Chains A and B, each alone.
Chain A
């Protein structure tokens, strides 16, 4: 009987934590759809705020999507070979490099943005194009692809498969594309989804790097939080959540599949 009372206490505690996480999100959803949040739900529901937000900020949505996709492509092209090289080398140098990979987590985004601005800030046309933000996003998200891909590469019997392919006459390039990459699909997919999610939500770097012509979604969000009325800000947040939640669901499904594969 003692055990069940403990269970109830723990369940209540967890539900309380869950409420702490969810209540503000639900409030934000409701506020974005309520005619007048100050009056309350009795003022009626409306899509007007969503329409207004779309008219004012749709360009930020498209820019963010463009950035996220470009970032995912760049990170894949750089990150997958890099992960492969790090796994294969496995010496003091590569381990030091792995240690360095923690840096983007440790370095506040602001600091990386400052560094980018001080280094490349004087190239005017580069500075004012969206590619400048792309560079920042790639720098920031790269470790989040390299780490899961490395984890998958270390786990499988990749060397055995590669030896088999080599003995059948496949060159290094062919081995990489037809053996290594297909075997790491799940890790790459998880990494890419993470990168897209992070890039869509990246603010710390982007806020410093953006220009009035290159506003991304989170920058627009900060803008609306500072200046627009609560309903507009909430509706804007609602659009952002609609974009990001499907990605998160896919991410959870894939990581669940990955961990199941690990136990097999």
Chain B
């Protein structure tokens, strides 16, 4: 699998996700600086977690305007896969790769803990290694993970089976309909607040995120 992790100023989970990808695929992904304007031929682009631009304006808003994002958008439009975690999910929404937006957590506080989730669909390159309805525990770490979209959009997401993960009576941020992660209409872009890269090593507290990486390796190579 040819994969690349985009590094933005303030990204800080770029190495973590690269390690998890490397472990699953046997190959280290390319690390591409946000100031680049072109991408090589890739099977997967990762928008990593962190605090791009310090989250100083609106989370993900400035990063969505980075030079590399035009190439990421073109990659997605060609049907290329994009895996967007946490701050990456926020960017993907800001960049129009996914619908909706991520607002401040309802409790107004940063939260870092494992949450109980359900895999809502196994029908995607990211979730094929899970069973639909499978319960998993994966950490979140964010201040702005409160997913919002209007009812029509939420109905469409649910109707088309595009909700990938839902908090399982354990919503840490007040997101609408307990949404933790969603897919694009072509199912090739996944945005999620939880960090599967933190649950892909038994020493770190669980392996529930590992299947996400093995799914990508199997389906995207």
Partners in one complex: no
> What is A's interface to B at a CB cutoff of 8 Å?
none
